[in-house]
């Protein structure tokens, strides 16, 4: 095994079918299982903490400790992969830790503060250690020209899995829900072990290892990470406000509908990302989302604007999840080690999620209409860096597909006139 230096000797994996290579199957299974376990587990854990009678300051410290743990172990996994342990072995360890530590959530029921800190540490390790490496492995298993459609299908299946796992954990008891997370993660890691195969390296010269400083100094990376960060900040700032003013039931309904819409647009967006490029779709998502918040600012509690916003937000989330979690950082990495790009690219989502905890005491004093107006303004503002960002899908690929489309249309026109 070659760890972070692993690059598939079979690079043309986007051809005849989704599972036309065993290595693609293992990467696909791993990433879909990880997403559908990772996010429901995070939501379940934070909801469990909120149900306990924990002082706000203690809750802030517990979750802060939890996020720091995620960050530390995410950085550790990117530092050791390929040097101390191979990528496949690291991901196998990650799956084992996730399965084991998911079961430890049962100790949250003890309502012991020290136990809560201990569980928050374990869940932080389970979520942070290996996640950027999982995304990088998936990206390494497909070509740049086809990563869009594979990412879209992977996210679509993952969102359906999130809905299923979330639904089960909501109707089951606490202990049964913990069992669901444990079994689901175990199924995923067992399937990964069964489907993976030994990979051959093309050599270290094909992959360049770079520092985090080098990545954040790249103009293209900065131009994409700024609007992504602004979206994450807006989303997690507005979330507790929506839950307070709309009510928990209505807010949950909005989230459920958005999951369904996002699962469809993820597949569609991924397909078109390989045809018209990533940049146009990202800009479209920000424009639609800005329109949704602008409409809410006019009448923030009216069911009709809320319904329109739900559709637009679900549409945008499907595009953003596909592009910002799986596609764009792989494009920017190119022939460089992708693990670090994925770690830095997913940081805005992780760090912004802590904002919801910090904002929660202020929901009563923040005007909802003003908040939505500011959200709309910042989302439209986020489009500005994208205007200067480069298109990451190779120009040659775009031109070839445009030419192929033109030839196909010309053939159809000729056949029509020939028949006539």
85 three-class SS: strand
Per-residue confidence (pLDDT) for residue 393, from 0 to 100 = 82
Same domain, 233 and 330: yes
In a domain, 382, yes or no: yes
Tell me, yes or no, whether 300 lies in a domain.
yes
Between 168 and 412, the more confident residue is 168
362: number of Cβ within 10 Å: 12
Size of the chain in residues: 420
- Give the pLDDT mean for 161-183: 83
Per cent of the chain over pLDDT 90 is 22
Beta-bridge mates of residue 81: 85
Please answer whether residues 184 and 33 qualify as being in contact, where contact means their C-beta atoms are separated by less than 8 angstroms. yes
DSSP, residue by residue, 204-258: GGGSB---HHHHHT-HHHHHHHHHHHHHHHHHHHHHHHHHHHH-HHHHHHHHHHH
Is 157 exposed, middle or buried, given 0-12, 13-18 or 19+ CB atoms closer than 10 A?
buried
Are 194 and 222 members of one domain?
Answer: no
- Closest by CA to 326, choosing from 210, 124, 159, 85, is 159
What is the maximal distance between C-alpha atoms in the chain? Answer: 81
Helices then strands, each counted (H, E), the chain: 17, 0
Q: What pLDDT is stored for residue 16 in this prediction? A: 41
Confidence of residue 11 (pLDDT cuts 50, 70, 90): very low
**144 and 257 inside one domain:** no
Q: What is the pLDDT of residue 228?
A: 94
What pLDDT, on the 0 to 100 scale, is given for residue 404? 64
Whether residue 3 is contained in a domain is answered as: no
Mean pLDDT of 34-56: 80
Which letter does DSSP use for residue 390 in this model?
Answer: P
Domain presence at residue 206: no
Please indicate, yes or no, whether residues 178 and 293 belong to a single structural domain of this protein. no
- 197 and 220 in a common domain: no
Looking up residue 80, the CATH number of its domain turns out to be: 1.20.1250.20
Would you say residue 94 lies in a domain? yes
pLDDT of residue 406 exceeding 70, the answer is no
Residue after which a domain boundary falls, among 201, 234, 258: 201
Q: What angle do CA 222, 390, 228 make, to 5 degrees?
A: 40
Average pLDDT, stretch 239-255? 81
- Residue that finishes a domain, picked among 151, 170, 201: 201
pLDDT of residue 403: 62
Burial of residue 77, with CB atoms counted within 10 A of its CB: 0-12 exposed, 13-18 middle, 19 or more buried: buried
Does residue 9 lie within any of the structural domains? no
Looking at the structure, tell me whether residues 176 and 227 fall in a common domain.
no
Q: Is residue 286 part of a domain?
A: yes
Contact call for residues 314 and 341 (beta carbons, < 8 A) = no
Residue 64 has pLDDT above 80, yes or no: yes
Q: Where are the alpha helices (DSSP H) in 81-218?
A: 87-103, 113-128, 131-140, 147-171, 174-195, 212-216
User: Both 237 and 177 in a single domain?
Assistant: no
What is the percentage of the chain residues whose pLDDT exceeds 70? 85
Report the predicted TM-score, pTM, of the whole model to 2 decimal places.
Answer: 0.85
Q: Do 283 and 396 share a domain, yes or no?
A: yes
Question: Which residue range(s) make up the domain with 374?
Answer: 214-412
The count of structural domains within the chain is 2
Instruction: Tell me if 14 is assigned to some domain.
Output: no
pLDDT for 198-225, tens place per residue? 444 444 446 788 889 999 999 999 999 9
- Average model confidence (pLDDT) across the chain: 82
CB 148 within 8 A of CB 274: yes
Where is the domain boundary, 171, 201, 231?
Answer: 201
CA distances from 367 to 230, 290, 372 (A): 20, 18, 9
* Average of per-residue pLDDT across 306-311: 90
Token pair listed for 404: 């192929």
Among the residue ranges 10-14, 17-21, 142-146, 147-151, the one predicted with the least confidence is: 10-14
Across-strand partners of 352? none
Same structural domain, 238 and 161: no
> How many whole angstroms separate alpha carbon 174 and alpha carbon 387?
47
CA dist 311 to 35, 89, 265, Å? 22, 41, 11
User: Are 41 and 108 in the same domain?
Assistant: yes
What's the pLDDT at 282? 92
Question: Are residues 161 and 247 part of one domain?
Answer: no
184 and 220 in a single domain? The answer is no
């Amino acid at each position: 095994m070659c760890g972070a230096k692993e690059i598939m000797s079979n690079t043309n994996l986007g051809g005849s079918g989704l599972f036309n290579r065993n290595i693609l199957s293992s990467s696909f299974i791993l990433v879909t299982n990880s997403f559908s376990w990772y996010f429901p587990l995070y939501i379940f854990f934070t909801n469990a903490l909120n149900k306990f009678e924990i002082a706000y300051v203690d809750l802030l410290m517990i979750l802060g400790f939890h996020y720091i743990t995620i960050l530390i172990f995410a950085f550790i996994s990117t530092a050791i992969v390929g040097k101390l342990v191979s990528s496949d072995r690291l991901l196998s360890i990650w799956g084992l830790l996730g399965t084991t530590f998911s079961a430890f959530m049962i100790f949250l029921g003890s309502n012991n503060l020290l136990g809560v800190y201990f569980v928050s540490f374990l869940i932080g390790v389970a979520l942070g250690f290996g996640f950027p490496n999982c995304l990088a492995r998936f990206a390494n298993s497909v070509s740049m020209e086809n990563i869009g459609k594979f990412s879209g299908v992977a996210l679509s299946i993952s969102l359906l899995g999130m809905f299923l796992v979330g639904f089960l954990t909501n109707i089951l008891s606490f202990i049964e829900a913990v069992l669901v997370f444990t079994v689901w993660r175990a199924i995923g890691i067992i399937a990964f072990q069964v489907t993976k195969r030994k990979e051959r390296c093309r050599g270290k010269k094909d992959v360049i290892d770079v520092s985090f400083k080098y990545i954040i100094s790249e103009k293209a990376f900065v131009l994409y990470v700024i609007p992504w960060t602004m979206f994450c900040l807006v989303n997690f700032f507005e979330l507790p406000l929506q839950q307070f003013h709309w009510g928990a039931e209505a807010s949950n309904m909005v989230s459920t509908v958005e999951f369904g819409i996002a699962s469809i647009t993820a597949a569609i967006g991924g397909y078109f990302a390989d045809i018209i490029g990533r940049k146009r779709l990202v800009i479209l998502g920000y424009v639609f989302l800005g329109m949704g918040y602008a409409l809410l600012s006019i009448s923030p509690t009216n069911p009709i604007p809320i319904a329109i916003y739900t559709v637009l937000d679900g549409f945008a989330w499907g595009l953003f999840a596909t592009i910002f979690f799986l596609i764009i950082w792989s494009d920017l990495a190119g022939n460089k080690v992708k693990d670090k790009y994925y770690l830095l690219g997913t940081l805005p989502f992780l760090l912004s999620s802590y904002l919801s905890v910090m904002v929660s005491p202020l929901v009563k004093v923040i005007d909802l209409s003003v908040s939505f107006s500011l959200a709309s303004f910042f989302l439209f503002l986020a489009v500005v860096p994208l205007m200067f960002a480069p298109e990451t899908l190779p120009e040659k690929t775009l031109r070839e597909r445009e030419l192929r489309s033109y030839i196909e249309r010309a053939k159809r026109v000729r056949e029509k006139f020939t028949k006539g």
